[in-house]
Structures are given as C-alpha cells and as structure tokens.
Amino acid sequence: MDHISPVIWQFLVKWLTNFAVIPPEASKVAPQVDALLLFMTLVSLVGLTLVILLVVTFSILYRRERNPVATQIEGSTLLEATWTIIPLGLFLVMFVWGSVLYFRIYTPPPNAMQMYVVGKQWMWKVEHPGGQHEINSLHVPVNKPVQLTLISQDVFHSFSLPAFRVKREAIPGRYTTVWFEATREGTYHLFCSQYCGTAHSAMIGQVVVMSEDDYKKWLASSTSGVSLAQNGERLFASLSCTACHNGTPTARGPNLAGVYGSTLTLTNGQKVTVDDEYLRQAILNPSARITQGYAPIMPTYQGQISEEGLFSLVEYIKNLNSNYRIQQTTTTTELAPAATAAAVGTKGMVKP
C-alpha cells in the first residue's frame, strides 16, 4: 500500500471502520424519527434515480446522431398531472408523518421528570429538582421520560441532542420545553446548535444516560443539600413574596397553593392556565395579566432574580399543594429573618 499516501490510507481505514450515517439511537423517539428519515431517503433516491434515468435514457435515445430531427410536442396534461399529484401525495405523507413526530417530541407526558436548563454565553447550566447543578453536562436515568424547560439569559442558544433526535431553541425572555426518554445507557453529545458568538463551538457537553441505580447514586453524590424547591422557598421568603401571597383570607395577593395547572380568570375576563411561562411572566411583568379580584399592586422583579432563581421559584410554586407550606414559610420568615439571611449567604445556594 505504499503507493497510497499513508495519511489518506489512515483516513480511509478510520472512516470505513467508524462509518456511520446516523448517530446512535438512544431515545424512544429516535427510531421513529429514523424510520421517517429512511422513508424520505428512499423516496428521494427513487425520485433522483428516476430523474437521472430519464435524462440519461433520453440523452442516449434522442442524441442528435440518432435523432437528427426533433418531434415537437406541446405537452401532456395527463403526464403533468401525474407528476404533480404523485409528488404532492408523497410530500403530504411526509407532512403528516413528520407532524405526528413533531407533536410527539414537543408534547411532554404528564409524568415526566422535570429539569431546568439555562443557556448563557457559552455554557449550559442544568438545575435538577433535587438541587444538583451541572454545567455542560446532563445526567438522566434510562427509560424515564425527562422534560427540559429551557431559557437563555442572553442570546439565542439551541439545546441539541443528536443521539435523542431532539433539539430546542433556548430563547431569551421565554420558556421553551422539550422531552425525551433515553433508552440506552451511555454518553452522548450535547451541542449548542444556534450560533451564539465567539465560543459557540465550545458550548458543547455531554448527556450521560445512567441506569436507575447509578442515577440514584449520582444524585446522592452530587446533591448540594438544598433542593430547587427549597431554594425557591428561601427566595420566596427573602423577596418578601409572603407579605402578600400568604394564603390568609385578607391577603393582598392570590393564594398560590395549588395554583399551578389551574385555570385563572383575569381582570379582563380572559382565562389562562397557569404554567411555567405564566409564573415567570407573573413575577417579571405582573401587571400584564392580573387575576380577577386583585389590584395591580405587585412590583416587578425584572432584573432582580436570575434565571436560575426564577426556576427555583417556579419549582417551589409548582410544589405548593397546600396552604400549610406557605404558612410555614411565612412563619419562618417572621420568626427568624436572620436565619434566612444566613442561609442566603451560605454556599451561595440562594441565587437571586
């Protein structure tokens, strides 16, 4: 083989041994996406072959040497209808199939584990409900649906997991969500795929899929001691949210227990379902959508809480199932403001 440049030879060997046209199928939806991709590839190959065949055959049959005089043909409605309707039909099949997948990928199941992702130039920060923080990596258990809620604190980023065939833009100023269910243990790529400035190509990491047991061990070993909801609770107290949202009958703000997922009527009669995005907006732009029966007196917290802090608050409010918890928070704040302040100081757990 010495007549082939060793460099090229090395490449060829490397390429042939590692040849792959698709990344590993590591999520439940991946084989479904790949099936459609395969279907499309086959249709494309048939279409392309047909075009090439037509061009080559006609070029041979009707080249000037063989056919010196052309026969003028106006066209053929039947033929034209054929190649309008057949591609249209195929494209519509792809449209329906693709849309089914799209709705599947962007509609999380109700029982999904919740994780929060903040994109910033140039790293991914992941917050687990248990209080685990990660940077540029994401640990998930195998065979469990996981829902990600994403936001960016500066420019557009895009959370791309090729092995799971999912991707979602992290947008400044609003939440987006995506979900997946990993099916194969291993370590896979995590990319930022939306151009985000200088170190865009360095904004990469890995997603680690672990068995149930390993995941539990990992959770235990990386815990910060304070869960996301607890962090939110402290923020809730330290930002004096309890002054109004204290669940008492005379409270100036609506009771937040059980509010998540409920349907509120606003002052203008509009109905909204309370979700993560609504809670976020209610903290930052409270006067835009006021619950019926309340005055627009809530101050805005724009610029005072980080995106992680907002996630903590959202997670806290999500888990508020009874009034009891709020009462407790209120009492704790009233009794020991110093203790809360100390907690804020320690380990930087509360991230306002």
Partner 1 sequence: MSSIVSLPDQTTARIPKRNYITNENGIMSWLLTGDHKRIAILYLISITFFFFIGGALAGLIRLELLTPQSDLMAADTYNKVFSMHGIIMIFLFLVPSVPATLGNFLIPIMIGAKDLAFPKINLLSWYLYLAGGALTLWAMISGGVDTGWTFTVPLSTHYLNTNVVTTGLAIFIAGFASIFTGLNFIVTIHRMRAPGMTWFKLPLFVWSNYAASILMVLGTPVLAITLVLVVLERTIGIGVFDPSKGGDPILFQHLFWFYSHPAVYIMILPGMGVISEVISTFSRKRVFGYSAVAFSSVAIAVFGFFVWEHHMFIMGVSNYSTLVFSFLTMLVAVPSAIKIFNWAFTLYKGSITFETPMLYAFGFMGLFTIGGLTGVFLGSSGTDIHLTETYFIVAHFHFVMVGGMLMAFLAGIHFWWPKMTGRMYPEKISQLAAVVTFIGFNFTFFPQFLLGMLGMPRRYAAYPPEFQVLNVFSTAGATILGVGYLLPMIYLVWSLKYGKIAGANPWQATGLEWQIQSPPLTENFVEIPVVTQEAYDYEWLDRQKEREVTQVG
Partner 2 sequence: MDSPTVAVHEGAHHEHPSYQRHHFVTMDQQRESASFGMWLFLLTEIMFFGGMFTAYLIYRNWYYPAFVAGSHTLSIVLGTTNTAVLITSSFTMAMGVWCAETRKRSGLILSILLTLVLGLVFLGIKSVEYHEKWVQHHVPGLRFDAMTFVHPKAEPGQPVEPGLPLDMAQHTEIYFSLYFAMTGMHALHMIIGMGLLIFMLIKAVQGAYDEGNIAFVENFGLYWHFVDIVWIFLFPLLYLISRHQ
Residue numbers 203-222 binding partner 1 by CB under 8 A: 204
Part in contact with partner 1 (CB under 8 A); list of ranges 94-102, 108-116, 249-257, 339-347: 94-102
Contact in structure between 317 and 255 (CB atoms under 8 Å): no
Check residue 331 for interaction with partner 1 (CB under 8 A): no
Pairing assessment for the beta strands 205-210 and 137-141 based on DSSP bridges: parallel
Q: In what order do the strands lie in the sheet with 186-192?
A: 137-141, 205-210, 186-192, 157-161, 166-170
Part in contact with partner 1 (CB under 8 A); list of ranges 99-107, 135-143, 211-219, 257-265: 99-107
Part in contact with partner 1 (CB under 8 A); list of ranges 159-167, 251-259, 264-272, 332-340: 159-167
For partner 2, the closer CB: 261 or 299: 299
Contact in structure between 351 and 343 (CB atoms under 8 Å): no
Residues 177 and 52: their CA atoms lie apart, in Å, by 43
For partner 2, the closer CB: 178 or 298: 298
Residues 138 and 182: their CA atoms lie apart, in Å, by 12
Of 4, 5, 9, 14, which one interacts with partner 1 (CB under 8 A)?
A: 14
Residue numbers 275-294 binding partner 1 by CB under 8 A: 285
The pair phi, psi for residue 178, each rounded to 5°, is: -150, 155
Annotate 270-286 with b (16+ C-beta within 10 A) or e (fewer). Answer: eebebebbbbbbbbbeb
Shortest Cβ 351–partner 1 spacing (Å):
18
Residues 172 and 174: their CA atoms lie apart, in Å, by 6
Of 1, 2, 3, 69, which one interacts with partner 1 (CB under 8 A)?
A: 69
For partner 2, the closer CB: 272 or 341: 272
Closest of 168, 161, 27, 151 to residue 106, by C-alpha: 168
For partner 2, the closer CB: 44 or 285: 285
The pair phi, psi for residue 264, each rounded to 5°, is: -105, 150
Part in contact with partner 1 (CB under 8 A); list of ranges 187-195, 222-230, 239-247, 306-314: 187-195
For partner 2, the closer CB: 208 or 298: 298
Of 4, 42, 51, 220, which one interacts with partner 1 (CB under 8 A)?
A: 51
- Mapped onto helix, strand or coil, the DSSP state of residue 335 is helix
Residue numbers 274-313 binding partner 2 by CB under 8 A: 284-288, 296-300, 302
Check residue 156 for interaction with partner 1 (CB under 8 A): yes
Q: Which residues bind partner 2 (CB under 8 A)?
A: 284-288, 296-300, 302
